Structure 1
Amino acid sequence: MPKQTIYIVSLSLLVMWSCKKDDQSSQQVNLLFTENNLAGDWKRIAEFRGQPNDSLGILEPLEDLFAQFENCRKDDILRYVKGNEQEDNRYFWGIGAIACHSQISKTFTEIGTWSLEESGKLSHVNSNTSEYHIVIQLNAQQLLVRSESDKNENGETTFEFTEYERIR
């Protein structure tokens, strides 16, 4: 009888461990670049300038821009709200738990409208300006975007990347 109990407990633990591993790996799978998959709250966790011609941000960064931020800017939040037939998609900038001087933590300000194409082109529109980014990675927990394009002093194409983690 004790051998059967040990066997059952071992098998149960193995099954639970496998399920947990499957849940974690499914969160790492890239989702389709759709507005529904982007909608939600995203906290900034990294910002860096990539190496020349590295359009995917996979090489060692040239410059860690995030390290240069004040602590109160390191937990900024972008909130993407999906519109409906009568309303455009709207995005908000949020102040995280640590507020800079004269700010109120955990508050949001509407910035403008947004759209996301299947190709990964993310458009932010506010007042009379439009800003474009390219979504590199979008999964259940992570969002990585880069500037559309940028040239450095040598005429090489370098990109600035921002990484977010989903908080809602």
Structure 2
Amino acid sequence: MKRFALLALSAATLLATACKKDSENTPAPQPKTTEQLLSANVWRMTAITANPGLQTSTGAIVTDIYPFVPNCTKDDTQQFVASGQFKMDEGASKCDTNDPQTTTGTWTSAKSGNDTNVNVTVSGGTLHLKVLEVSDTQLKVVTNDDVFGIGTGTSVAYTLTYTKQ
């Protein structure tokens, strides 16, 4: 009986050692690239700020622009498809009933030092974005493009925050 117990203990030790070596040889998972994180989700804008702030019709300067975004725009989503296609969906409410439900375009990304820049082209216009952060649940970008078409004459940096849908 002692011999059987010794044999069982030896076998268990060998198995434990073998399993440990296998797990040590398993490579650590690689972190997702910016492009993989961008294309992994459908995104909806949840915040937008302006720097410097913009002047309202009452003369006040505001940096939090999101309260001024129409509700029919707040439910819109954007998707960076892995193939380089970009999709915008109008959501449940449209600002103009004649607008298509979905508009498509293209997107590309390029590294510049530690920065990732993304260009989105839709209907002949291109939006230039710098990715500030991206995770499995949130995307934050900044652009100096005139996203509202208001032409202030001043360079305004718009920071847009998107949340995974």
Verify same fold: TM over 0.5. yes
Is 1:140 the counterpart of 2:136? The answer is yes
Q: Any runs of at least 4 consecutive aligned residues in structure 1 with deviations exceeding 4 A, and if so which? A: none
Instruction: Tell which has more relative contact order, 1 or 2 (C-alpha 8 A, sep 6+).
Output: 1
| Deviations 1:60-104 (CA, angstroms, capped at 9, x unpaired) | x94222111221111211111111xxxxx1101111233335168
Is 1:109 the counterpart of 2:103? The answer is yes
Is 1:43 the counterpart of 2:36? The answer is no
8 Å contact kept, 1:34–1:117: no
Q: Which runs of 5+ in 1 are unaligned?
A: 1-30, 53-60, 84-88
Q: What one-letter code is carried by the residue in structure 2 that aligns with 1:115?
A: T
How many angstroms apart in 1 are the aligned matches of 2:128 and 2:51?
A: 17
How many angstroms apart in 2 are the aligned matches of 1:68 and 1:148?
A: 19
Is 1:73 the counterpart of 2:73? The answer is yes
Q: What one-letter code is carried by the residue in structure 2 that aligns with 1:114?
A: W
Residues 161/32 of structure 1: CA separation in 2 closer, same or farther (3 Å cut): farther
Aligned length in residues = 120
TM-score (norm 2): 0.60
Q: Which runs of 5+ in 2 are unaligned?
A: 1-30, 54-60, 147-151
Give runs of aligned pairs for residues 1-168 of structure 1, distance below 5 A: 34-39=34-39, 40-51=41-52, 62-83=62-83, 89-102=84-97, 107-110=101-104, 112-118=105-111, 119-126=115-122, 128-148=124-144, 158-167=156-165
| Deviations 1:42-64 (CA, angstroms, capped at 9, x unpaired) | 01111110348xxxxxxxx9422
SS of 2:94's equivalent in the other structure is coil
**Greater strand share, structure number:** 2
Bigger-Rg structure (1/2): 2
8 Å contact kept, 2:144–2:156: no
How many angstroms apart in 2 are the aligned matches of 1:70 and 1:127?
A: 21
- The percent identity for this pair of structures is 22
CA-CA distance at 1:32 after TM superposition: 5.6
Q: What one-letter code is carried by the residue in structure 2 that aligns with 1:140?
A: D
8 Å contact kept, 1:135–1:146: yes
How many angstroms apart in 2 are the aligned matches of 1:43 and 1:128?
A: 22
TM-score (norm 1): 0.59
How many angstroms apart in 2 are the aligned matches of 1:109 and 1:128?
A: 12
